[in-house]
Amino acid sequence: MSYFKTAILLAGMTALFMGVGYLMGGASGAMIALVVAAGMNMFAYWNSDRAVLSMHGAQPVDARNAPDLYRMVGELAHNADLPMPKVYIMDNPQPNAFATGRNPENAAVAVTTGLMQQLSREELSGVIAHELAHIKHHDTLLMTITATIAGAISMIAQFGMFFGGNRNNNGPGVIGQIALMILAPLAAMLVQMAISRTREYAADEMGARICGQPMWLASALAKIENAAHQIPNENAERSPATAHMFIINPLSGRAMDNLFTTHPATQNRIAALQQLARQMGAQGGYVQQRPAASAASGPWNGGTPRRGPWG
């Protein structure tokens, strides 16, 4: 995604924020919303990564308390020509992961305990490589700022519904206010979708190249997609504006926020990875894939870890 398109999308998010501010307080409300949006962008640039990690209960780990995971991240980061990111674990049964940070030098990768328990070592390396691809593409800042503004739009829209809006006779009227306050969060979600969908395909391709095996990531996506519909992620349900940051949509569909998906269809992503695997195989771009280990025999459950192309 070009910087121009990115700027347009973020400008759209800011305009939505100002529109809701206008409904609540007229022209002065719109100006206040503009100032708040500018302040939020500054805050998001410097602090939103820590805020998102905190929302999801992510705890930092290192080579002492998570040696296998930490070593895997380091080896894949080396393959991607990236600095070593910070590594976090979220105590959550749903297998999932995301990356955050304003640039590659200040990035973090967070995985759930469910991901470590349910995926083989190969599949886990594919997921981590995907998240490192987001870092390398500088997607993490954009996705985190988008989550911050989208969450604020939803919050201020709901606040406006309870406390009234602009009562200027030239305004949209009570019905119009209610309609726009409902539609504003949905519009924010559409912008999130536009950002997330294009970036997921690019991260899938680069992640597959980083770990050297497209089918490892394809297998992981299939497992995570299946589990995400069966295992709720309570932290994500409470903060749905962050859903687009995860490798697979973590929302169960219980809430209205899941009416529009923030991710491309998983089967389409898998098909693209299968095509990439055929291309890389024809070009000698990766070694012959070995059968994936079962979760029960993986390194995260006391089994013997099997080495992949990362080490």
In angstroms, the CA 272 to CA 231 distance is 26
Catalytic residue at 131? yes
Tokens of 227: 């589990």
Residue 110's φ and ψ, nearest 5 degrees, are -125, 130
Burial class of residue 163 in the structure, from the number of CB atoms within 10 Å of its CB (0-12 exposed, 13-18 middle, 19+ buried): exposed
What H or E segment, with its residue span, contains residue 173?
helix 173-211
CA distances (Å), origin 182, targets 161, 237, 280: 9, 19, 46
Give the single-character DSSP code of 246: B
Task: List, as own/partner pairs, every contact residues 22-27 make where C-beta atoms lie below 8 angstroms and the sequence separation is at least 24, other chains included.
Answer: 22/166, 23/160, 23/165, 23/166, 23/171, 23/172, 23/177, 23/180, 23/181, 24/156, 24/159, 24/160, 24/163, 24/164, 24/165, 24/166, 25/165, 25/166, 26/166, 26/168, 26/171
User: Do strands 97-101 and 107-112 pair parallel, antiparallel, or not at all (unpaired)?
Assistant: antiparallel
DSSP secondary structure, 177-220, as one string: HHHHHHHHHHHHHHHHHHHHHHHHHHHHHHHHHHHT-HHHHHHH
Please tell me whether residue 288 adopts helix, strand or coil conformation: coil
Catalytic residue among 131, 200, 205, 225: 131
- How far from chain centre, in Å, is Cα 99? 7
Tell me the CB-side half-sphere exposure of residue 26, using CA atoms within 13 A: 7
Residues marked active site are found at: 131
